[in-house]
Amino acid sequence: MTHAKNHHYVPQLLLKNFSSNKGRLHVFDKLNTRPFPENQKNIASENYFYNFSEDGINHSMEEWLSQLETKAAPIIDEIVSSKNLDSINSATKSELSFFFAVQMARTKMPQEKIKRLVKRFRELLTENGQEISNLDEKLKDFVTEPTENDLKAGTAKAIRVDAPMYAPYLENKIWMLIERSQETPFIIGDHPVARKNEIDKDWSDFPGLMKIGVEFYIPLSPDLCLAMWCPSIVQGVINQFAPEKEWIVDRTFKVANILSGSKNSSKIVNALQVYWSERFLFSKNDDFGDLAEKINNLPYMRHGPRPKLNIERDE
């Protein structure tokens, strides 16, 4: 069997909807703040990204991920072509929930997050007068810079262990489609399952997957975005607008499963893609606006989100 060399951490089944008929799309590089055209086959990928060794044995997640994509592709294609969720039943919703849970674990952003955590922890220890060489062995292992193989093995573990645990939380959300506004088509980033939480205003950094109020947004095409909302959002609308007509609001959210996107909602979805992407953003029509200027004014946006780590020093 011939094994693929170029491993995509954003599946081509998602990228194709943002590409031209010839497979070309527009890419924005946040690190260098520049746009450029590229073929979808050559972007959001690295050679042997899912290959790693463990206990002297070589492993690869690529074939398993390809099989997962094969199952998800016709479901997503049907949503995009029909522009509704009528084809989603309990089985296909479960399959897509798992697919998107895996997608959260399989990109470069979690690896970069780990690298940053280790680096920052070492910096803080040094700033507080702690010699790394004097740490006990367990703690020293924690602050040792991970190798490329360590990071790949960590990605595989997250796919195998974390994704099955997180998938039910996606499945139990209320799923809606959001249509683009006329002025603002959706873009997609290299960590496409973006999230925020308006209840505790925790959409920066890393809002917990299981917190009350967390929302997920996954652009499926320039015209459609899949939203997964915590049921508490529906309850909030009921409490605010129609407490005496709870069943009407609840039924509206669950049955009328597509919302017309306002200019503001499209911008929010795109802003989330910009924030959560590690480096690259993708568009069908070079719809990046003044993104370069914004990133130049906010240097932390040149990369994906990083967790904060602070250590209080005893005086």
3-state secondary structure the chain: CCCCCEEECCCHHHHHHHCCCCCEEEEEECCCCEEEEEEHHHCCEEECCCEEEECCEEEECHHHHHHHHHHHHHHHHHHHHHCCCCCCCHHHHHHHHHHHHHHHHHCHHHHHHHHHHHHHHHHHHHHCCCCHHHCCHHHHHHCCCCCHHHHHHHHHHHHHHHHHHHHHHHHCCEEEEEECCCCCCCCEECCCCEEEECCCCCCCCCCCCCCCCEEEEEECCCCEEEEEECHHHHHHHHHHHCHHHHHHHHHHHHHCCEECCCHHHHHHHHHHHHHHCCCEEEECCCCCCCHHHHHHHCHHHHCCCCCCCCCCCCC
pLDDT of residue 287: 82
Q: Tell me the domain boundaries of the chain.
A: 6-301
* pTM confidence score: 0.88
Tens-level pLDDT at each residue, the chain (315 residues):
457 899 999 999 999 999 988 889 999 999 999 999 999 999 999 999 999 999 999 999 999 999 999 999 999 999 999 999 988 999 999 999 999 999 999 999 999 988 988 888 888 888 777 777 777 776 777 778 899 999 999 999 999 999 999 999 999 998 989 998 888 899 999 999 999 887 766 544 445 677 788 899 999 999 999 999 888 876 666 666 655 555 444 444 444 466 655 667 888 899 999 999 999 999 998 888 889 999 989 988 999 988 766 544 433
Q: What's the pLDDT score for residue 208?
A: 67
